[in-house]
Amino acid sequence: MKIHRIEYDRFGHGPNVTRSVRPGPRPMFSLLCMESVVHDAYEAQDDPCDPQGDSYDGRDDLHDLHDVQGTRARAPRALATEAVHAGREDLARQGLHAAPIDLSTTYPSYDSRGEAARIDAFAADGAEPEGPPVYGRLGNPTVARFETALARLEGTESAVAFASGMAALSAVLLVRNALGLRHVVAVRPLYGCSDHLLTAGLLGSEVTWVDPAGIADALRPDTGLVMVESPANPTLAELDLRAVAHACGSVPLLADNTFATPVLQRPAEQGARLVLHSATKYLGGHGDVMAGVVACDEEFARGLRQVRFATGGVLHPLAGYLLLRGLSTLPVRVRAASANAAELARRLAADPRVERVHYPRIGGAMIAFEVHGDPHEVIAGVRLITPAVSLGSVDSLIQHPASISHRIVAADDRRESGVGDRLLRLSVGLEDVQDLWADLDGALGR
């Protein structure tokens, strides 16, 4: 048995990630048609779970930053260090160790003329109001800490948080729609609800679905966005994001980085203008917070803030606190869960009850596999692994995409994008790998 990785000619992701952030001309790519290929389970490649190997730690990629007063430059720091300290640099000066949770919905001010000027400024350009907060929909200090930290980890100027991943994607579409750029070019598979939002045109957008090789030809004068997900939900198909960004030309590329997280790849370094996360998943990491976030340049962030203020898709401060706390353990969690997943993928690939295993070249904690038998019996048979939608939690979750996460996508479209009726998606957690295998082994039956 071999592990099967769906990828696209000249778009297949190379080992691990591209580490250079130095600007320069993008290489020319010959964009060929989509093709599925099969790879051995363990080809020579970097191990993203090996802290001593050539895995990405972000040390060389983080730009020089300044302290909270902006007066003293400091050296770049590794991703693991940023995960712990980003968004918290001012706490020690305040005599605090844990970030405070600001639950205020409104903030008193005796200077109503000043408040008016600040609100006018926000309405004009979407920049974060200077000075103390004004109102919860304009921004919250606790949420702002999370936004600062996530932008640091993704290597972008800014980040804007929302009440859910779908609220974040909706805001991106509304920003582009407001400019008359309603056309979207997208590559399947995407998360099922993202697919539905685009296909149904619920926000007035129009979508053209293409293979990666068809992106450039699908662009129109009114194209406002190209959207991809890599590794994709749920097939774990991978794209060379740098090649995709080149094909987009001047059209912004939105890359859903929910599965990989900045621990495994940073799409902005490969040309994506927008990096989307369902923060409910790995960023939170404990299955107890729902959120979304877009990491991007400050110009785009200003439009997102204006949409968030107008539509009300704000993130609750407690959720912002939980996400900030979740980021501090993100590298440790992703690497430990990835080690478990790699071992389970190896065992599943050798199991005669399993027809095919999908596992990304860049590693990660997600596995997709197709069984010879009834996938619903596998779901019903687990006892340790939780049979539930969602992913990225400390505990392992398994679900049947054709029944749940991608049920809203038309059956023919599902199957054409590789989401077959026998496909199962496994989000591997932090349990002992022997216990996880014992549960899977029992659920697979004889």
pLDDT digits (tens, 9 = 90+) for 174-216: 999 999 999 999 999 999 999 999 999 999 999 999 999 999 9
**Helix, strand, coil shares, percent, the chain, to 5:** 35, 15, 50
Contacts of 227 (CB under 8 A, 6+ apart): 184, 185, 186, 187, 190, 194, 198, 253, 254, 256
Listed range (10-24, 155-169, 190-204, 317-331) with the worst mean pLDDT: 10-24
Entry pTM:
0.85
Contact 371, 382 (CB under 8 A): no
CA distances from 265 to 292, 294, 336 (A): 18, 15, 16
Nearest to 272 by CA among 284, 257, 285: 257
On the question of pLDDT at 62 being above 50, the answer is no
CB atoms within 10 A of CB 329: 16
SS3 313: coil
User: Which tens digits make up the pLDDT trace of 237-276?
Assistant: 999 999 999 999 999 999 999 999 999 999 999 999 999 9
Query: DSSP assignment, residue 383?
Result: S
pLDDT of residue 76: 86
Pairing of strands 65-66, 274-277: unpaired
Q: What is the 3-state secondary structure (H, E, C) of 318-332?
A: HHHHHHHHHHHCHHH
Please count the other Cβ atoms lying within 10 Å of the Cβ belonging to residue 35.
14
- 8 Å CB contact between 421 and 402: yes
Question: Containing H/E element for 276?
Answer: strand 274-277
Q: What is the pLDDT of residue 150?
A: 98
Q: In what order do the strands lie in the sheet with 34-39?
A: 34-39, 3-8, 354-358, 366-371, 423-427, 397-399, 386-387
Q: Position 142: which residue type?
A: T
Tokens at 166, concatenated: 């779908």
**Which residue has 């596999």 as its token pair?**
369
Cα gap 443→429, rounded to integer Å: 17
Q: Does the pLDDT at position 146 exceed 50?
A: yes
> In the prediction, which pLDDT does 3 show?
58
Q: Which of 20-24, 119-123, 142-146, 411-415 has the highest mean pLDDT?
A: 142-146
Indicate if the pLDDT at residue 89 is higher than 50: yes
Q: What spatial distance separates the first Cα and last Cα of the chain, rounded to whole Å?
A: 17
The residues carrying an active-site annotation are: 137, 191, 256, 281
- Which two structure tokens, joined as six digits, stand for 271? 């040309």
CA angle 349, 353, 358 (to 5 degrees): 35
